[in-house]
Every structure is written in C-alpha cells, then in structure tokens.
C-alpha cells in the first residue's frame, strides 16, 4: 500500500495532526507509529477504530452542550 496514494489527503492531515502517524514497516502488524508527549506511540487498527468512536462521542457531546 502506498500511504500517500491510498489514503485521502484529509486522513493524512488528521494522522499528522494527532502525532505525525504513518504506517510501520511490518505490514502484518497493522500499526501506525507517531509521536506524542511521552515519545513514540504505536496504534493498531483496533485502537484506531476505538478512538474514532470516542472522537464521535466527544463531538456529539460538544454539539449537545452548545445547543443547551
């Protein structure tokens, strides 16, 4: 998989925003590596799916909060 061509520009921008994440060399591990406050961080496909649920939950909460 060519990371630059197979992932949308928006997805690449998001991965950069949250810690400059990019795929690891070992494809079979299904992981990305990036950098956070404490240093290197590895996230697997399962982690990313769980995090996406959490982001949606927080976005929904923000909307409800603003609507009063």
57's tokens: 């939950």
* CA distance to 11, 20, 68, per residue, from 50 (Å): 16, 19, 28
Q: Where are the domains of the chain?
A: 3-67
Tens of pLDDT, residue by residue over 4-56, are 678 999 999 999 999 999 999 999 999 999 999 889 999 999 999 999 999 99
Phi, psi for residue 41 in degrees, rounded to 5? -140, 130
pLDDT at 38: 87
> Do residues 33 and 41 lie in contact, with contact meaning Cβ atoms separated by under 8 Å?
yes
Q: What is the pTM of this model?
A: 0.81
């Amino acid at each position: 998989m060519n990371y630059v061509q197979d992932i949308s520009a928006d997805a690449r921008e998001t991965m950069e925003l949250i810690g400059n994440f990019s795929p690891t060399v070992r494809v079979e591990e299904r992981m990305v590596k990036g950098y956070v406050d404490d240093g290197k961080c590895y996230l697997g496909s399962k982690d990313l799916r769980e995090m996406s649920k959490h982001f949606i939950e927080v976005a929904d909460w923000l909307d409800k909060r603003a609507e009063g």
